[in-house]
Chain A
Amino acid sequence: MGEHLLEIKDLYVEYVTDDAHVYAVNGIDLFLDRGETLGLVGETGAGKTTTALSILKLLPEKVGRIAKGSILLAGTDVTAASEAEMRLLRGETVSMIFQDPMTSLNPVLTVGDQIAEVLQLHKKYKDKAGVEARVDEILKMVGLPPERKQDFPHQFSGGMKQRIVIAIALACEPLLLLADEPTTALDVTIQAQVLALMNELKQDLDTAMILITHDLGVVAQTCDRVAVVYAGEIIETGTVEQIFSGDRHHPYTVGLFQSIPDLKKKTRRLHPIDGLMPDPTDLPSGCKFHTRCPKCAQVCMERRPKPWEEDGHIIRCHLFAKGGPEA
């Protein structure tokens, strides 16, 4: 094996604006191999999108910056790469499906033309008829009638726009696909269809994928490994089996699972995790979850927990330190 397709080490990312200094990512380590799907889950504001933007080196200019750490993507050191090198990587190695579909759609070009443009950039289809036929096929794959290729983005529903963006990303046949909430605007039948498509890509081309999502159901059904992010840190990671079963978990992961409304039970109130995510401009000391943790001890307020590890299952929590939180 040797080298991973993607390897992130001790990454710190900050946003500095006139009136705030936001610590968005605070020491993330992760790796990804070809053909693997990693689920990135965690509360809103946890730093998931920021992590993905860092891999592409697309943090907002002047405001966002990588403060520390390294990102190695297909042998390229992203933090040191030039814009020209990055453009090449973004074209051929990695594609991103953005959370907001309009970031990647051109409002004045028909949907068919936009897909055709990508296909032409990415070799293979030389004649116009070949391209057109492929455009129809791609639209059908994401459940859109080909007749609609002459329409403009604003003439589609939210979920349809998202599907068009997915179609374009898949047409690029990337080595690494960063999918930021790709199916949140989709109903479950279309979602199943889209996830099956992504799976095919993974099988046919050995594409690796980082799937950012709030939906633990989607994670359970599609990911190989999972990383749970809280306040810019990965507080637990492991295989889906390790995360979705067993009883060794970070208290935050436990809370996440308890907040899911259960279709089989009738409950009047849901059980969200108490409190709010800490303010990323003013993060708490020690374990960042200690302010909301039902198991908080003295040490949790003072020291950042070291990772506990067993067969690749990593938890950052003092409960799992040698001898328990008192040690």
Chain B
Amino acid sequence: MSVPLIETRDLKKYFDVAGGKLHAVDGVSLSIERGRTLGVVGESGCGKSTFGRVVLRLLDATSGQVLYNGEDILKYSNDQMMKMRQKMQIIFQDPYASLNPRMTVSEIIAEPIRVRRTIVGNSAIMDKVDELMQIVGLADRFVNTYPHELDGGRRQRIGIARALALDPEFIVCDEPVSALDVSIQAQVLNLLMDLQEERGLTYLFVTHNLSVVKHISDEIAVMYLGQCVERCPSDELFENPLHPYTRALLSAIPEPTLEARNKRQEIIRGEVTSPIDPKPGCRFAARCPHAKPECMTDSLRSQEISPGHFVSCLLYR
């Protein structure tokens, strides 16, 4: 097998908070082949964004490894990392907070180019900005507007244009389409997939939208409270979900039909386990309909149930 473009090994990120150590990412090992897309789904607050940021070294890892083409970039010096950064970009979840309110649209998109000097000369830079705006479907007239004058969808397009400015190899897409309506969502997903095909881009794609993740991913990882609980090829996850959390997740998808409206849907109940200094055992146990006493104590290990399908759950021991 070839070396994956991105691989994490037992990656951890803990935050110090008032109550103790918060285990945001707690031993995640995943890999993505070049030109492929790994989708990451999981409960809000389970560590998806933190994982993406640690992989890009926008946050310092607490421990573990991040291999890019087989090299551990957590060991890179600042100089080495500077070069690396061009190849790795992020499209943020929050189109509001991530754009500088004092810069115009074209300044925001041009900024990475100016900082890295990948293109020199004002007119050449503006040509590139025009091209990028066209690619993401932003009309020319927005060149000199400020982000707060735009609706959410257009702001998110700015973020995408900016991420593409340096022609990266790897992009962490953190909820890139959640602020968009279905029609524009479809346009942006088609765009991201076309870009992948043309440029061989590799994506780590974080989203809450399960139909989107199924559509765009080759493989999907399901996270729960800092850990990866299940991982398998995209279609397999929907056909044969194994972990009880994955099953709960799939059954909670609201369907855009009236028939589904009257079906009483099941809501997972039970206390949410705190990520601050969590106890040993399965973190979903307190809410799991299949929990047994040993789930609260035994430590879990990921097992390959069928080729390429991994799950961490005592039900499958």
Contacts and interface: CB of A to CB of B under 8 A. Distances in A.
Interface string A62-79: 000000000000000000
A144 B272 contact: yes
Given A45-B153, A151-B17, A244-B258, A187 B179 contact: no
A240 B179 contact: no
Interface stretch (A88-96, A115-123, A216-224): A216-224
B49 interface: yes
Interface string B175-190: 1001111111111011
Interface string B26-52: 000000000000000111110011100
Contacts of A273: 183
Given A151-B18, A214-B180, A44 B44 contact: no
Given A102-B97, A151-B17, A276-B139, A188 B276 contact: no
Given A15-B149, A188-B252, A189-B43, A260 B17 contact: no
Contacts of B276: 145, 147-148
A19 B144 contact: yes
Nearest to B257: A220
Contact of A44 (B18, B139, B152): B152
B317 interface: no
- Size category, A interface: 35 or more
A100 B175 CA distance: 14
B252 A191 contact: yes
Given A216-B256, A220-B258, A241-B258, A148 B19 contact: yes
Contacts of A159: 44-45, 208
Nearest to A262: B211
B180 A263 contact: no
B260 to A, nearest CB: 7
Nearest to A269: B190
B151 A49 contact: yes
B179 A220 contact: no
A259 interface: yes
Given A45-B151, A188-B252, A145 B210 contact: no
A270 B189 contact: yes
Contacts of A262: 211
Interface residues of B, number: 69
B253 A187 contact: no
B141 to A, nearest CB: 7
Interface stretch (B73-81, B121-129, B261-269, B307-315): B261-269
A186 B210 contact: no
Nearest to A270: B186
B21 to A, nearest CB: 12
A310 to B, nearest CB: 18
Contact of A187 (B44, B139, B255): B44
A192 B151 contact: no
Nearest to B157: A44
A157 interface: yes
Contacts of A220: 254-258, 260-261
Among B151, B211, B253, the one with the most A-chain Cβ atoms within 10 Å of its Cβ is B151
Contact of B179 (A44, A188, A221, A256): A44
Interface string B138-155: 010100110001111110
Given A150-B18, A272-B183, A281 B141 contact: yes
Given A156-B45, A220-B256, A184 B96 contact: no
A214 B45 contact: no
A163 B44 contact: yes
B84 interface: no
Given A244-B257, A261-B214, A214 B272 contact: no
B200 interface: no
Contacts of A219: 256
Given A43-B181, A217-B256, 7 more contacts: A17-B149, A184-B179, A191-B254, A214-B182, A220-B255, A259-B183, A272-B186
The 7 A-B residue pairs with the shortest CB-CB distance in the complex, in nearest-first order: A44-B153, A159-B44, A217-B254, A270-B186, A272-B186, A150-B18, A145-B274
Interface of B: 15, 17-19, 22, 41-45, 48-50, 93-94, 96-97, 137, 139, 141, 144-145, 149-154, 175, 178-187, 189-190, 208, 210-212, 214-215, 235, 238, 248-249, 252-258, 260-261, 265, 267-268, 271-276
26 contacts: A45-B150, A99-B179, A100-B94, A143-B272, A148-B274, A158-B175, A160-B44, A162-B44, A184-B178, A184-B179, A187-B43, A191-B252, A196-B267, A214-B182, A215-B254, A217-B256, A220-B255, A220-B256, A220-B257, A221-B261, A260-B182, A260-B256, A261-B186, A262-B211, A272-B183, A276-B139
